[in-house]
Amino acid sequence: MFGLRKTLSSLFSRQKVDEEWYESLEEALLLGDVGMHATQKLIKQLRLEAKQQKTESVDDLKAILAKLVEQLLSKLERAENPFLKSLLSSQQPQVWLIVGVNGAGKTTSIGKLCHHFQAQGKKVLLGAGDTFRAAAREQLMAWGEKNQVAVITQQSGDAAAVAHDAVQAGQSRQMDLVILDTAGRLSTQAHLMDELKKVKRVITKSQADAPHETILVIDGNTGQNGLSQVKAFHEALGLTAIIVTKLDGTAKGGILCAIAEEIPDNTPSVLAIGLGEKLEDLKPFKAADFSKSLIP
């Protein structure tokens, strides 16, 4: 259960709605990683709706808040979510570039994506672009073995070379999807962010319309730091999508509200959310469903 949902459950069990109730709601939203801007917007809208509907019923306010959260999150939902539908591409293969900080769950998410698309009958190829850590290559190769998928790797060389080889192999083998892993890096490490830009340029040179998706994986437990990651990677790479992992544990979940409110220009959509360790535990993002998971 999301931490925010648990906190709000206690709040919505109260019968009296007064100024103290609204202050407690504001505190709960802030503690739940919703962020200052989104919290203030939601509280203002909730007060206005309550006044217009002439209601002080806790149940009514809960329903109104759930709808407001859904409306806010709807900008993160993509109608043609490729995780929901078959891969949409006029030219094969599609190429997805996966980025993020260390420990966010990039490689595990790649394994789950691989499993998902294979279940659709798609041919998938993986590229081990994390050339910093041998363990990362081994982990990706383990996922490839588990899914019976080939992995393009190099013992030496840079990430851009691996990306080039993977795209070329994807074309020659007529794959439906090439997924490229990259080394975890902090958004403040300028030279490593420059390397990602180089990887992206090399992919585009190898296939003019690629990468079709540039996806940031963030840990649902990172709170407002996750928002900083989205802003930095989006500015550097022009993200198309986000995957939020580890939402099955103590994560508060409100970070998506902050992202929706504070990244107004070309906001990357949320492709999927991770709700467990099993291959099937990567679920497509739907604003209505996520809102229900936040608001008890």
The residue with greater pLDDT, 5 or 59, is: 59
What is the structure's pLDDT at 120? Answer: 86
- Which CATH number is 4's domain given? 3.40.50.300
Query: What's the total number of domains in the chain?
Result: 1
Cα separation, 62 vs 29, in Å, equals: 13
The residue with greater pLDDT, 140 or 124, is: 124
Whether 106 and 196 have beta carbons less than 8 Å apart is answered as no
For residue 31, give its domain range: 1-296
**Helix-helix angle 159-172:190-206, to 10 degrees:** 20
What is the structure's pLDDT at 259? Answer: 94
Taking only the tens place, the pLDDT of each residue in 33-64 is 999 999 999 999 999 999 999 988 989 999 99
Least confident of 175-184, 185-194, 220-229: 185-194
- pLDDT-derived band at 83 (thresholds 50, 70, 90) equals low
| Mean pLDDT, the chain, whole residue set | 88
Q: Could you give the C-alpha distances from 235 to 35, 57, 224, 229, in angstroms and in order?
A: 20, 43, 17, 10
Taking only the tens place, the pLDDT of each residue in 106-121 is 988 999 999 889 888 8
**pLDDT average, residue stretch 182-206:** 86
What is the structure's pLDDT at 85? Answer: 66
Taking only the tens place, the pLDDT of each residue in 242-284 is 999 988 766 678 899 999 999 877 889 999 999 888 888 888 8
**pTM confidence score:** 0.92
